[in-house]
Structure 1
Amino acid sequence: MTTTAPTAHFRPGTHVTGEHEVHSTPLGYDRATLPAGALLPLPASDALVEGVSHATTVELAFHGKLGDSLLALSAARAALDWLAQRMDAVPVNVRASGPHADLVRRTSLLAQAVPSTAPEGSRLLIGDRAGIAARGAEAATSLVCDPAAPPCWSADGIAHTSLPNRYYLALERRLGVRLPTDPPFTPQLVARPNWLVRRLRATGWFEGITLAAITATSRPDLKDYTAQRYIEVAQLLAQILNAQVRLLLIGGHHASGSRITAADANAQLQSLRLDGLPVNDLADLLPHCSLVIGNDTGLTHLAALSRGETGEGPHVIGLHARHSHSKWNTGLPHHHAVSTVFAHQMHQGDLCPVRDALTPTDDDCHLDAVAPAWLASICAELLLGGVR
């Protein structure tokens, strides 16, 4: 008896997941048929509505992991959407705190409400558990964003698998009103002028094909595609396209701080290692790349969310070894995913290996199942304007 070797799955960002493809929870109403502001055929959470309705100050306090924080910003968007469409809407102060505050300020969230010069009054705190613990003592009402909490909602024949969609729709249900925003619900970050971008552009980068590969990961034993495989992908991509490819290898924290290292180069491939760069610099840098590939980590989510002033930016491919590729995703059409057999199973069953204590077998959860030649062909198709 022979067995088939594990294969990887590619999911384009434009893919619409049908409600019968995955385990999901009915939303409880046909959202597409309801106008913005319509009352839902579900009871609102009276305590939550009462607390949010009195808010004159909203603080966004995301103090935890980068990826978790960025994907939870849609919950803040839902609350601010609700405040903005009230009949008695009053100006609201909106501010951000915590280690990711500068990134939050790049979104439209802080400009979504009209700044108020009135006293703070009642404060609504929206954040993760770390942020609530740090800033919640003075808040009248707190909204905790826990990635394990919102289920995969389904409505109108569609499953809303991405974590930002889950957060937004969960809060819409509790507030009892159809909110005005339609998917994707994720607030995007706007890039700014940056010294590193200027330096790289002056030496010829970004003129042709610039591929950024994110090697940073909190679990290199489980989720690292490795720099060598990324280099092989870039070399194969150069051959397929018969063009010069420049490769940025982006690592995480480094013991000696930020470090930029030129690697060996040949006629078709030039590479540069960027280790430990501040996330603000990366948010400015990544929109200038042609394509970004990354491990399942916060910097890959950052790449998908960071765009230029007019919305331009690269395709992004996230590589998922253990966790659902559809949940840990921004839901944006340019954010694609590659998953192992195990990660695809987590997607289909709406499961989590940590929460549900699931142990994969050795042969179905490793990124070595993602062949560089296969991945390079997907990259070439995306760069040529096609999506499978």
Structure 2
Amino acid sequence: MTTTTPPPAFRPGTRRALAGDVHSVPLGYDRAAIGPGTALPLPASEILVERMRDCTRVELAFHDKLGDSLLALATARAALDRLGERRHVAPPTVHASGPHTELIDRTGLLTPATSPAGSEGPRLVIGDRAGITARGSDATLALVCDPTAPPCWSSDGVVHTALPDRHYLALERRLGIRLPSEPPFTPRLTARPNRLVHRLRAMGWLDGVALAAITATSRADLKDYTAPRFTAVARRVAEILDASVRLLLIGGEPASGIRITAADARDRVQSLRLDGLPADDVADLLPHCSLVIGNDTGLTHLAALSRTRDGTGPQVIGLHARHSAGKWNTGLPHHHAVATGFAELMHQGDLCPVRDAVVPPTEDAHLAAITPDRLAHIAVRLLTGGRP
């Protein structure tokens, strides 16, 4: 039997999938119908509840991939929601370890550095497999955040496809109690004053239509829209809007360090390559752009999570070649996706081409299937406040 692959699709961040459209697992209760603190009609994990109850210290040990780490912070939010509800017990002290500590500090989850750290008492470690291996050996309880583990949950006809929602609800079910937060569950990051941002603003790179393109990728052969295609999108946007566009091409982290290269300033599309930027700088820069388009990678998730101090920031479009755009998403209303037909099938079936060994037809699972013209029209609609 041959499966017909659908064409590339735009998935708005405000669209919520329905249970009849996506393969999902029943949550086991109507979350909207019960209040926070209500016991769930499911058996809780007794050992987890017992060990978490007495924890006075929490460590967030995300030591591996940036994107997986950011989307798993919803587990930390769920745990802290529960620990914060304990009566007659002070809130736990929370700190982080690993390469993403500075970013995690921007979420507000961590105990301020001026507060006593506390070195005694039962300790809860939440993290990825690498972080738990490094930091969890003497913990009272360790919660491993495996992105392949939580399924797509459905409740009262609504499907929770985004990975942060899956993580949060998975822990809520294990704790056996309705937690207080509402979707989207992922913590946001707040941008900070930054010398590079100040410099770029002074040079005019953040004036007018400032389009940021995330060219970093984990699979250049399949998951890279490429700088020439992003440039073609910017040119088409400039044509449609009849305006100049400043294009910031943000690459990965080469060993040579930060590299800044500007193109011909006389062109209607002025481009600036920013290679090797630390993730902290990216988090501070992107909230000041007009729109962000990026390969399905950690920096694109970071773009969606990063906001200015007043909560503002750009619309973000993630480009998905092979993996579900519904799952690999923050769940935030300004985080949109354009997905190949194959990625749409992975979304519909809640499948992973790696975990489930689903081999895609090559022509249907490459970002080249998404034309610059189509992407430019979506970008213009978002820039002008319309509906794509």
User: So what's the TM-score if we normalise by structure 1?
Assistant: 0.96
Deviation at 1:110, TM superposition (A): 1.3
Provide structure 1 residue ranges, at least 5 long, that are not aligned to the other structure: none
SS in 1 for 2:253: coil
Deviation at 1:263, TM superposition (A): 1.8
Deviation at 1:7, TM superposition (A): 2.4
Task: Give the aligned residue type for 1:59.
Answer: E
| Counterpart residue number, 1:89 | 89
Task: Give the aligned residue type for 1:369.
Answer: A
Deviation at 1:6, TM superposition (A): 6.3
Residues 262-290 of structure 1 show CA distances to partners (whole Å, capped at 9, x for unaligned) of 12343421100000110001100000000
SS in 2 for 1:99: coil
Deviation at 1:36, TM superposition (A): 0.7
Between 1:249-258 and 1:318-327, the stretch displaced more is 249-258
Mapped to 1, the partners of 2:90 and 2:115 lie a distance apart of 10
Mapped to 2, the partners of 1:256 and 1:166 lie a distance apart of 38
Residues 24-55 of structure 1 show CA distances to partners (whole Å, capped at 9, x for unaligned) of 00000000011111111111100000111110
Conservation of the 8 A alpha-carbon contact between 2:162 and 2:331:
yes
| Counterpart residue number, 1:42 | 42
2:263 paired with 1:260? no
Mapped to 1, the partners of 2:118 and 2:136 lie a distance apart of 21
| Counterpart residue number, 1:108 | 108
Conservation of the 8 A alpha-carbon contact between 1:215 and 1:252:
yes
| Counterpart residue number, 1:313 | 313
Mapped to 1, the partners of 2:93 and 2:281 lie a distance apart of 27
| Counterpart residue number, 1:168 | 168
- Judged with a 3 Å threshold, the aligned counterparts in structure 2 of structure 1 residues 304 and 65 are, in CA distance, closer, same or farther, namely same
Provide structure 2 residue ranges, at least 5 long, that are not aligned to the other structure: none
SS in 1 for 2:356: coil
Deviation at 1:206, TM superposition (A): 1.6
Conservation of the 8 A alpha-carbon contact between 1:91 and 1:116:
no
Residues 126-162 of structure 1 show CA distances to partners (whole Å, capped at 9, x for unaligned) of 0000000010122111000000100000002100000
SS in 2 for 1:211: strand
1:137-152 equivalences in 2 (<5 Å) = 137-152=137-152
Deviation at 1:254, TM superposition (A): 1.6
| Counterpart residue number, 1:69 | 69
Task: Give the aligned residue type for 1:181.
Answer: S
Conservation of the 8 A alpha-carbon contact between 2:6 and 2:342:
no
2:237 paired with 1:243? no
User: So what's the TM-score if we normalise by structure 2?
Assistant: 0.96
| Counterpart residue number, 2:227 | 227
Deviation at 1:89, TM superposition (A): 3.3
Deviation at 1:99, TM superposition (A): 0.3
Conservation of the 8 A alpha-carbon contact between 1:162 and 1:328:
yes
- Judged with a 3 Å threshold, the aligned counterparts in structure 2 of structure 1 residues 203 and 177 are, in CA distance, closer, same or farther, namely same
1:44-63 equivalences in 2 (<5 Å) = 44-63=44-63
| Counterpart residue number, 1:357 | 357
| Counterpart residue number, 2:218 | 218
Deviation at 1:246, TM superposition (A): 0.1
| Counterpart residue number, 2:378 | 378
Task: Give the aligned residue type for 1:374.
Answer: R
Conservation of the 8 A alpha-carbon contact between 2:57 and 2:118:
no
Aligned pairs, number = 384
SS in 1 for 2:317: strand
Conservation of the 8 A alpha-carbon contact between 1:92 and 1:115:
no
Residues 213-236 of structure 1 show CA distances to partners (whole Å, capped at 9, x for unaligned) of 010011101100000000000000
Deviation at 1:255, TM superposition (A): 3.2
SS in 2 for 1:29: coil
SS in 1 for 2:173: helix
Task: Give the aligned residue type for 1:64.
Answer: D
Mapped to 2, the partners of 1:144 and 1:43 lie a distance apart of 20
Deviation at 1:257, TM superposition (A): 1.1
Conservation of the 8 A alpha-carbon contact between 2:245 and 2:268:
yes
2:281 paired with 1:281? yes
2:207 paired with 1:183? no
| Counterpart residue number, 1:122 | 122
- Judged with a 3 Å threshold, the aligned counterparts in structure 2 of structure 1 residues 115 and 167 are, in CA distance, closer, same or farther, namely farther
Conservation of the 8 A alpha-carbon contact between 1:6 and 1:369:
no
Mapped to 1, the partners of 2:132 and 2:275 lie a distance apart of 31
Deviation at 1:57, TM superposition (A): 0.2
Deviation at 1:60, TM superposition (A): 0.2
Conservation of the 8 A alpha-carbon contact between 1:94 and 1:115:
no
Mapped to 2, the partners of 1:196 and 1:315 lie a distance apart of 22
Mapped to 2, the partners of 1:95 and 1:246 lie a distance apart of 38
Mapped to 1, the partners of 2:196 and 2:115 lie a distance apart of 33
- Judged with a 3 Å threshold, the aligned counterparts in structure 2 of structure 1 residues 145 and 117 are, in CA distance, closer, same or farther, namely closer
Mapped to 1, the partners of 2:38 and 2:111 lie a distance apart of 25
Mapped to 2, the partners of 1:306 and 1:70 lie a distance apart of 11
Task: Give the aligned residue type for 2:278.
Answer: P
Kindly report structure 1 stretches of 4+ aligned residues shifted beyond 3 Å.
114-119
| Counterpart residue number, 1:271 | 271
Between 1:12-21 and 1:81-90, the stretch displaced more is 81-90
Conservation of the 8 A alpha-carbon contact between 2:254 and 2:275:
yes
State the percentage of identical aligned residues: 66
Conservation of the 8 A alpha-carbon contact between 2:216 and 2:295:
yes
| Counterpart residue number, 2:302 | 302
Deviation at 1:116, TM superposition (A): 5.8
